[in-house]
Amino acid sequence: MAFPTTRLRRLRRTEPLRSLVRETRLTPEAFVYPLFVCPGSGMRKEVPSMPGVFNLSVDEAVNEVREVRALGVPSVILFGLPEKKDEVATGAWAEDGIVQQAARAIKREVPDVILMGDVCLCEYMSHGHCGIVKPAPQSLGAAVAAPPALTTEYEIVNDATLEILTRTAVSQARAGIDMVAPSDMMDGRVAAIRAGLDQAGFTNTPILAYAAKFASGFYGPFREAADSAPQFGDRRSYQMDPANFREAMREIELDLEEGADIVMVKPALPYLDVIAAARLRFDVPLAAYQVSGEYAMIEAAARNRWIDRERVMIEALVSIRRAGASIILTYYAKDAARVLG
Ligand SMILES: [Zn+2]
């Protein structure tokens, strides 16, 4: 039955009608708020490229988590800015590492928060890569083609990195982290972390795997926030090529086989097709990370009064939810919760 019998505008006439037939509902229960924890006390240092996002000392992070919970957001994920960086990411797995300190304080003061820990090494490595770096034998062709400074070849060593990642995850669980979230993109990390957690008695600690994490230009502001930009090269040898959809499905499938409890697609907005396909294909909770660049673009345009900040914020989050992500990691968790509440 077509026009004039069918008129889709009938149900768009008023807000109550639109609300009645709304297909996707956004609620604060879906949000995870990222926190960047740094040494010191009473520290709240705004990240220039991410207005409204701060590096927080442990005491300030505790206050932040209280506020997040009061707004109805159930969860936060911790990233750490260590005092010192080295070649084996000591700060990531040390008993008194910055994330471990924050986890203990947060769980003591706000026990009902779901506390996630990002498991990666880049913030703790002097070179800023997500794994152990080893110089690679140089090819003769490369040595001839370019001057020596440009031919420094290196490799991010996969299997040796797994051991440090596992150690990091176990130490986070010991400190009270409820769910570990490996973001490094090494092969086999989920299985290694699962085995390590089980061996240490943390059989009930779930793993949220950054399963399909793309090598993205949208991470720029995060690297400023977490001081984790690689000192040389880039992350294309471990993060995924933005052009590859089928490979994303394989990454998710493998992480599930290795024991991931929740899988994530990152970034969100430029990869809604990947989220939608993953939702149809895999019957597990699906998360998406609305990354720093997605946030910074909206903030920058809103500051120029080129867009309506609140409207675009909600629209972007609704689109991620509509694509199929039931969990959204977002710097807008607090602001969106205020709008929705
Ligand atoms: Zn990393």
Confidence class for position 220, pLDDT limits 50, 70, 90: very high
- Per the CB < 8 A criterion, the answer to whether 184 and 120 are in contact is yes
Please confirm, yes or no, whether 266 is among the known catalytic residues: yes
Of 85, 107, 266, 334, which residue is the catalytic one?
266
pLDDT in tens, 97-122: 999 999 999 999 999 999 999 999 99
Report which of 88, 103, 134, 99 is spatially closest to residue 233, judged by C-alpha positions: 134
* 8-state DSSP, 201: T
Give the CA diameter of the chain: 74
Confidence class for position 137, pLDDT limits 50, 70, 90: low
pLDDT of residue 148: 47
pLDDT in tens, 291-341: 999 999 999 999 999 999 999 999 999 999 999 999 999 999 999 999 998
- Strands 50-57 and 44-47, how do they pair? antiparallel
Please confirm, yes or no, whether 134 is among the known catalytic residues: no
Report which of 110, 99, 91 is spatially closest to residue 58, judged by C-alpha positions: 99
The amino acid that residue 70 corresponds to is A
190 alpha carbon – ligand 1 mean position (Å): 15
Strand locations in the chain, DSSP E?
Answer: 31-38, 44-47, 50-57, 75-80, 114-119, 132-135, 154-157, 179-182, 208-213, 262-266, 286-290, 327-330
CA distance 328 to 318: 10
Give the H or E element holding residue 322: helix 309-323
pLDDT of residue 138: 62
148 alpha carbon – ligand 1 mean position (Å): 28
pLDDT in tens, 255-304: 999 999 999 999 999 999 999 999 999 999 999 999 999 999 999 999 99
Confidence class for position 153, pLDDT limits 50, 70, 90: confident
**Claim: this prediction has a pTM higher than 0.75:** yes
CA distance 286 to 283: 9
SS3 55: strand
pLDDT of residue 226: 84
5 alpha carbon – ligand 1 mean position (Å): 56
pLDDT of residue 30: 96
145 alpha carbon – ligand 1 mean position (Å): 31
